[in-house]
Structure 1
């Protein structure tokens, strides 16, 4: 019966990886007890965007097996490591960038990191916007100070279920940093290599806007899984977003997708939708790269950031938070596709019993 269940499960494909669950090694358990099939699927990320579809497909396939009266599907998750690990203990480094300032990049980065942690992933967040660090404030830890552990490595600050580092927690509040390129490069190296990040599934990096020294230093310092571009719908932002995409292309960093922030505004009193900055312009970029999501302009996202709580945790029921949660899950899916793309070609065509 175990073989019959596996045979049925081999007809179920992962919707993003386009290979069956059995050959992907995602079936952890498949057994029949008193007419009830117990199936455990080990997802490639706890933030799987298509978990519901996988569950429905598994149930439908297994119910076709003679003798099966019901199906109980449970899930685990193990984030697959990239072919070349980013850092010791860190499976993936994902850069969050933008072509220009003012598009809400840091807010998106904080909420993506918090959402991934909310779904059960081990997440770190690095504020690499050295000149304008805002992550510490958005995490409610502006007054905290970074300490060193026994190995003399920087100890990331823990808040909201994740670990983060920011220049704001190393320098006096309000003090401007007047640094040239070599000093920036040294600081980025320390943040990456001299910090006790521990075991992480994802290290989310909030980049400064534009295409400058920090971006180049990061791509030269660490193996990056990919980058996410944050933009708003209007043409001037999209032009700069295209420049950021070109920079990552020249640095051989894959673009995992586009996030259109402040995509539209829904009036709370009337429910009418206003396209304050136009809408859907990112879909032009999305013809080449996945559009991870469109996030509406919402005052609660700003209020939550000022209060130091990511919106996906403070008000997860709002439209903006729901959009950000879906963006994070879509991003996790793209990372999984990237991590497995090289190994899929080497998988055998025959079924593998797991």
Structure 2
């Protein structure tokens, strides 16, 4: 079977910023931004393709007013020290539009074996150096050290968000000084907004890769890549090199626009690497792209070149009809 056609896309309709985690129990756990931006859903299935028909469980809802009351974005689920954690971003509202896009990062915890059961406990906001726009937190462990990677607005730097890394004291607390490892510098990162966001970590071939998304959330949205040696000091900004070109972009030929905000997983048999991402199947959008609901979650196998670099190819065409 052709790798690029292994999954029929989309795997879940109207779910942006898709995050998939394959657990030791064999299930794929899926969460993503819902079009209403008002809750966090989880679903699980034995295969990526079956996620579409898995029953979603709402595990957390936004507040009516104040903190955690608006624009619930980009949840991620992680399994750390025998507990489940969800990282997400939320804004605040005072009954007006004040603070509607002034996000902060938050963490939920669940100690049950099945995260679709039980209660999720709020562990609070992830505090950083600045009290400023921050979102899309992700976490990974390397050589016994846990790290957080996240986008944030430095009030002293022009633009919307840069990428930072810090060591973690526990799954909801960073320690030490945040280190900036990426800022929008190329033209493809500055269309509409100066954005580096949506980091996702992949460790392969003695390298640590951080995929991230750039530019505005329309057809200009695309994916970039940071690379560090597995043996380097990950808290040293010089350890990280940015690929000068985007690695995953709009493809008119396949009808896929604005691919990005991805996660990584593996195929059902564990032999192939899979990128999970969102994109639209049309270019023209009415109004603010953030409120267009048709960023659908998609999955495809990717390969590697002789230098150990990922080859994502192009976002494949839809394999089944999509309701727009």
TM-score (norm: length of structure 1): 0.26
Q: Highest relative contact order (Cα 8 Å, sep 6+), 1 or 2? A: 1
Indicate the structure with greater strand content: 2
Larger Rg over CA atoms? 1
